[in-house]
Structure 1
Amino acid sequence: MKQILLTNDDGFDAIGLKALIQALSPIAKITVVAPAKNKSACGHSLTLDRPLRMAKVDDDFYKIDDGSPTDCMFISIHNLFKEGYKPDLVISGINIGANMGEDITYSGTASAAMEAVLHNIPAIAISQVCKDRCQDIKNGWDFALAKDTIVKIAKKILNNQFPLGERKFLNINIPPIEPKECKGIKITKAGYREYGNDTSRHLNPRGEEYYWIGLHPLIWKSSENKDCDFEAIKDNYISISPIKLDMTSYEDISILNQWIKN
């Protein structure tokens, strides 16, 4: 039976992770390793300044105290699977909230997929875009469209059809709609996110200042061909973007060579 390794940056008890387990258990053997608490926006961070403890929650289900999604992947790949064996697929999610545009670089969800492909394991990051994050969760969001999508994509990959090369993963974003409203899947590029200054300054009872960083609204630069992830979600499509870890700006190498000589 094929093996899928799951994680989620919202924590081991996240409702999105539970939805993912429910959707994928019928098609593969599932192993879960997730952070013990929410690690949203932790990026591709690896813990090097302290030991990490992996605690068993249930059969094939573990949490790592104060670990990042990257820690979860690194430790589990090298310690939970027999030597010479790796999971057939890593899926990170279902994240509560979008991971589009440059937010991919902040995302703990996407970073778990990054770590997996560094170890030559096919990987997917999947996120549920929310109209109103808190209200959607309170209303008992059932992830129906996300679950249907991830099962279809996972089955294709487990049938030896991963479409990407080395150090590349699939980044999937699901629009906040019912399945019947979905227009289909669009293959997209990562858009250009526009950021504001959503920080709040406060004083604690001792008069010391502290800051909270808030959630920025989903605002982006329109793409010329309307082919970015933001545009797809706006138009009620599922967005699937191929993401690569090589961030070299190849078109600027010759420019820099000329610049450094002058």
Structure 2
Amino acid sequence: MKRILITNDDGFESAGLHALARALRPLGHVTIVAPSSEKSACGHSLTLTRPLRFISLEDDFFKLDDGTPTDCIYLSINALFEGDSKPDLVVSGINKGSNLGEDITYSGTASAAMEAALHGVPAIAISQVYVGGPQNIELSHGYDLAEQTVYDLAKKILEGTYPLGERRFLNVNIPPLSPNECKGYKITRAGHRMYGNDAHLHRNPRGEEYYWLGVHTLEWIKSENNDCDLSAIEEGYISITPVKLDMTAHDELENLKRWIQNG
């Protein structure tokens, strides 16, 4: 039986995590290891300054006490899978909200897939885009399209071959549509998102200032051929982006050599 390890960054109680488990159980043995609290936008962070503990909730369902999504994958592969045995697939999500463009660098969802890729395990990060507030996911379209999508992609991987090379993973974003409304898949590049400052200043009852960071709108620089993930979502497609961990700006290597040599 194929073994599937899943996690998220919204925490072990997230409806998206349970929808993911429900979608993947027909394909193999699912083990869930998720953070004990929300870790959105924690990036590819490991916990090095305190001990971590698996807390068993049900058979093959654990929360990692104050761990990050990266911790969940790192420790699971090393502690829950015996010897050199590894899961056949890691899936992170279903995230409540998009992970488009440069969001990948912030995303705990994507970072869990990155960690799996570092260990040589095929990986998918899947996120559900919403319109308005995050509560709209449950109130309107739900996770039906995301569940169908992740089932189909995981089935192709588990029954065939992984389509990517080493240290690469699939970043999947689901439009806020029902399965009947979606136009299908579109293979995309990561877009160029536009970010602003959405920090809100407040005061607590003692008069001390604090800031609460908001959520940016989905704005981006559109290319001539609209081939990025953000454009695909706007057009009603499921976006699938191959992501690699090599962040080297290869096109700048020669330029940098000349810059150093010319003093």
Residue 249 of structure 1: how far off its partner (Å): 0.4
Q: Which residue of 2 is the match for residue 43 of structure 1?
A: 43
Counterpart CA distance in 2 for 1:161 and 1:4 is: 15
- The TM-score normalised by the length of structure 2 is 0.98
The alignment's C-alpha RMSD in Å is 0.9
Letter matched to residue 3 of structure 2: Q
Contact 2:137–2:143 (8 Å) recurs in 1: no
Contact 1:21 1:30 in 2 (8 A): yes
Taking the TM superposition and a 5 Å limit, the aligned residue runs for 1:210-225 are 210-225=210-225
- In structure 2, the residue matched to 1:21 is 21
Task: Tell me if structure 2 keeps the 8 A contact 1:194–1:221.
Answer: yes
Give a deviation string over 1:148-194, Cα, whole Å, max 9, x none. Answer: 11111000100132100000000000000111111110000000000
Percent of matched pairs sharing the same residue: 61
Displacement of 1:135 after TM fit? 3.8
The residue identity in structure 2 corresponding to 1:108 is: G
Residue aligning to 1:79: 79
Alignment-derived partner of residue 129 in structure 2: 129
> Which residue does 1:251 correspond to in 2?
251
Pair 170,218 (structure 1): closer, same or farther in 2 beyond 3 Å: same
Query: Alpha-carbon deviations, 1:23-65, whole Å to 9, x = none?
Result: 1111110000000010000000000001011100100010011
For residues 47-66 of structure 1, the aligned pairs below 5 Å read 47-66=47-66
- Does residue 119 (structure 1) correspond to residue 119 (structure 2)? The answer is yes
How many residues are paired up? Answer: 262
User: What's the CA shift for 1:140?
Assistant: 6.2
CA distance, structure 2, for counterparts of residue 155 and residue 80 of structure 1: 23
Please give the residue correspondences for 1:62-211 in structure 2 after superposition, counting only pairs within 5 Å: 62-137=62-137, 139=139, 141-211=141-211
Q: Deviations over 1:210-256 (max 9, x none)?
A: 10000000000002210000000000000000000000001111101
User: Is the 8 Å Cα contact of residues 168 and 242 (structure 2) preserved in structure 1?
Assistant: yes
Contact 1:4 1:30 in 2 (8 A): yes
Give me the whole-angstrom Cα distance separating, in 2, the residues matched to 1:176 and 1:232.
12
When normalised by structure 1's length, the TM-score is 0.98
Distance 1:141 1:251 in 2: 42
How far has the Cα of 1:133 moved from its partner? 2.7
**1:203 to partner: Cα distance:** 1.1
Q: In 1, Cα distance between the equivalents of 2:52 and 2:212?
A: 27
The residue identity in structure 2 corresponding to 1:61 is F
CA distance in 2, matches of 1:161, 1:40: 31
SS of 2:205's equivalent?
coil
CA distance in 1, matches of 2:156, 2:135: 33
The runs of at least 4 aligned residues of structure 1 exceeding 6 Å deviation read: none
CA contact (8 A) 1:96 1:133 kept: no
In structure 1, list runs of 5 or more residues that go unmatched: none
| Amino acid aligned to 1:75 | L
C-alpha offsets along residues 92-123 of structure 1, whole Å, 9 cap, x if unaligned? 00000000000000000000000000000000
Helix, strand or coil for the counterpart of 2:134?
helix
